[in-house]
Structure 1
Amino acid sequence: MALSIRHFLLGRCCCQRTITSIRFYSSIPKDHVKPPSKVKWYFIDKFKHYIEGYEKFLGTKYPKIFGVYNTFKGGVHGLLSDTRMYYSVTLEMWRGTGLHNFSYRQLQVYRQMPHEMLKATPLLVISALPLGGAIFAVAYFFPRLLLTTHFWTPKQRREFWSYDHKHRLHHLSSVFSGLKKHQKHIEDPELGNRMKKIVQKLQHSVHPTVTEILEVKPLFESYTYAIQKLSLVQKRHLAKGLGLPLRKSGLIQDGLILLHTDRAMVREGIEKLTEEDIEQACFARGLNPIGLSRTERIQYLKQWTQISEEVDEDSISLLLHSPVFLAYNHPTNRGLIGRQRFK
């Protein structure tokens, strides 16, 4: 009898824990993303402290190569500044701060810094070894591969962003093929006809209007084109087309951060962005801005944000497909791949 009571109480306790955890999970606001794990947080903390003492270390230990280092001094300052900002944003996320509370710059840094930190770590570690300071001279000749964006000149940024964008464009062609292929699986006749018109426009080098795109939003929430419905191949091309993580959870999380970055951009004023920020924003959203005026670039970003303002976590797939809807046939994109039309 005592054993039965014990089993009953244990079972009730476990059940209560499950219910509590479910309630906690369901109460998480949709503008929150999962904070970094303890292991990743440890790395962020160590990286931040390492960068803070790096400039003084090189100037003291390697005075002869410090002249070479001066070339990278601005880059180190930029890397240090962004590392501190990334550390601060991460700490705020641990405390439960929602994405809507962060600025455009903070969200930009949060999206970019994990990749930048992984890229910078080998260079910084090797250069701290005996004779390792000479690595700066080597890295100077291979900036795209060995240096983060903080060390690039404005000319190099444009060149390297254009290079990466050109490779992402080929994935947009595969994303468009997936849109066409899965038209036949649309069960709602009205939504099917609307999607068919959009595909026909894109096939004839015409982009649909924002209104037409938002009319098929239900297809990207729980129907044919929702993230959960896409094949692994389609999700891979979608991620590659925007330079996002390949894992579904990472794709959704980075898509959510992109969504709130859009909203912060609107909140702070697109027109107030610098030329470089506008250029980078266009590249990150599927458009090659080279050859376009500032007005044309801003107009594209305004079209994009008209869509993101109507998107939430459930319809994030629509935002991730927006490069195809808004920029698939754009002349600057076609020009970047040799003025050939996408397959």
Structure 2
Amino acid sequence: MALSRVCWARAALWGSAVPPGLYVVRRLQFVRSGLTWGAPRSSKLHLSPKADVKSLISYVVTKTKVINGKYHRFLGRHFPRFYVLYTIFMKGLQMLWADGKKARRIKTNMWKHNIKFHQLPYREMEHLRQFRRDVTKCLFLGILSIPPFANYLVFLLMYLFPRQLLIRHFWTPKQQIDFLDIYHALRKQSHPEILCYLEKVVPLISDAGLQWHMTELCTKMQRGTHPAVHDILALRECFANHPLGMDQLRALQMKALCRAMLLTPYLPSVLLRHRLKTHTTVIHQLDKALAKLGVGQLTAQEVKSACYLRGLNSTHIAEERCRTWLGEWLQISCSLKETELSLLLHNVVLLSINYVGSRR
């Protein structure tokens, strides 16, 4: 009776019109169910901390892509010229990063299986060679950026001198063609000087037959005739020893050959000779790997790049003619010994100077 009065008083205070008996029954039922079955479970699902982190990261990435897309559209509408440069720069960074990852995989594979550079397949050898040159050029920019606030000056220099300071990944398609033409024009300036040295050494050749072959070759070059493979291979003995062996080349000859190979000539004679030997040896190793692969397995871009590396301005020559020229080069290169690599070095001029379509 006392309990019912208390419940009635609570109901009066809460403004409820529920009779006290019914409240007591429901209260007892609730207590009974709580004692028997425990507290009711919540129907709301809770994600694990890992799932929460993943969903947060996914959300951030999605929003970042949306904002980045809006930013690109804004630049494209209001600053079209800057947007072109920005796009090329970002794509260049992505390609350079991809090249670095690939070079790292190749190096790791070499270390695991104890493979030397000359034992690699052609494409991996060429990738490592080109990546080293690109990294060397990028390191120069990094050194320039070390002083405080020098990075702003570096960006200005990159914009003003893209050919000298940037690698091919950051060039526009038009710049790639123009810059390759400029580089070829620079190395072409050394061709007459190299041919002049070949004429001067004719009296120094002891063998009369070799003297005649050298004179005939120089005459053909001056007349604009493209030499045959056997005409060049007939002189291999002259380039193995005195006077045209790698160790017998004079300083002025080496400087001219460095310009023909797009190497810096402003070094002491000892370093010039070492660089020429190293560079020619790498090309010889690439030629052997390419001969195993076959010229027919290369893409059009790979063929043109291989020809340009070996002295031919392939940017304005048809693909089939480039393949023919590259086949002639491989025929000469694979016939030479290590002591005759000076002929391969001079072959950059001999085989390319009068080739059809290369006079630009």
Check whether TM > 0.5.
yes
2:201 pairs with one of 172, 177, 182 = 182
Measure the CA separation in 2 of the matches of 1:166 and 1:230.
24
Residue number in structure 2 paired with 1:211: 230
Residue number in structure 1 paired with 2:96: 79
Q: Is the 8 A contact 2:121 2:289 kept in 1?
A: yes
The alignment status of 1:297 with 2:322, answered yes or no, reads yes
Deviation of 1:130 after TM superposition, in Å, equals: 7.4
Residues 186/331 of structure 1: CA separation in 2 closer, same or farther (3 Å cut) = same
Residues 118/222 of structure 1: CA separation in 2 closer, same or farther (3 Å cut) = same
Measure the CA separation in 2 of the matches of 1:322 and 1:131.
43
Paired amino acid for 2:99? D
Percent identity, aligned pairs only, is 27
The alignment status of 1:221 with 2:240, answered yes or no, reads yes
* Larger-Rg structure: 2
Residue number in structure 1 paired with 2:189: 170
After superposition, residues 1-343 of structure 1 pair within 5 angstroms as: 69-87=86-104, 92=110, 97-121=115-139, 123=141, 126=145, 132=151, 139-140=158-159, 142-244=161-263, 246=265, 247-334=272-359, 336=360
Q: Is the 8 A contact 1:208 1:326 kept in 2?
A: yes
Deviation of 1:295 after TM superposition, in Å, equals: 0.7
Paired amino acid for 1:248? R
Paired amino acid for 1:313? E
Residues 213/138 of structure 1: CA separation in 2 closer, same or farther (3 Å cut) = closer
Residues 137/231 of structure 1: CA separation in 2 closer, same or farther (3 Å cut) = closer
Measure the CA separation in 1 of the matches of 2:348 and 2:255.
15
In the superposition, the TM-score normalised over structure 2's length comes to: 0.67
Residues 93/257 of structure 1: CA separation in 2 closer, same or farther (3 Å cut) = farther
Measure the CA separation in 2 of the matches of 1:229 and 1:95.
38
Measure the CA separation in 1 of the matches of 2:275 and 2:333.
19
Residues 228/72 of structure 1: CA separation in 2 closer, same or farther (3 Å cut) = same
Deviation of 1:182 after TM superposition, in Å, equals: 0.5
Measure the CA separation in 2 of the matches of 1:122 and 1:70.
23
What RMSD, in angstroms, separates the aligned Cα atoms of the two structures? 3.2
Over residues 2-52 of structure 1, what are the superposed CA-to-partner deviations in whole Å (9 max), with x where a residue is unaligned?
xxxxxxxxxxxxxxxxxxxxxxxxxxxxxxxxxxxxxxxxxxxxxxxxxxx
Q: When the two structures are aligned, how many residues end up with a matched partner?
A: 274
Q: Is the 8 A contact 1:99 1:257 kept in 2?
A: no
Deviation of 1:94 after TM superposition, in Å, equals: 11
Deviation of 1:134 after TM superposition, in Å, equals: 9.4
Q: Is the 8 A contact 1:183 1:195 kept in 2?
A: yes
SS of 1:290 mapped into structure 2: helix
Q: Is the 8 A contact 1:245 1:251 kept in 2?
A: no
SS of 1:219 mapped into structure 2: coil
Measure the CA separation in 2 of the matches of 1:218 and 1:301.
23
Over residues 145-202 of structure 1, what are the superposed CA-to-partner deviations in whole Å (9 max), with x where a residue is unaligned?
3321122233322221111011101112111111011111000111111111111111
Q: Is the 8 A contact 1:221 1:314 kept in 2?
A: yes
**Where in structure 1 are there 5+ consecutive unaligned residues?**
1-58, 337-343
Measure the CA separation in 2 of the matches of 1:65 and 1:117.
30
Residues 174/72 of structure 1: CA separation in 2 closer, same or farther (3 Å cut) = same
Over residues 43-101 of structure 1, what are the superposed CA-to-partner deviations in whole Å (9 max), with x where a residue is unaligned?
xxxxxxxxxxxxxxxx9xxx999976554222112212333444566674899643431
Residues 176/122 of structure 1: CA separation in 2 closer, same or farther (3 Å cut) = closer
Which stretch of the first structure deviates more once superposed, 73-82 or 177-186?
73-82
Residues 74/93 of structure 1: CA separation in 2 closer, same or farther (3 Å cut) = same
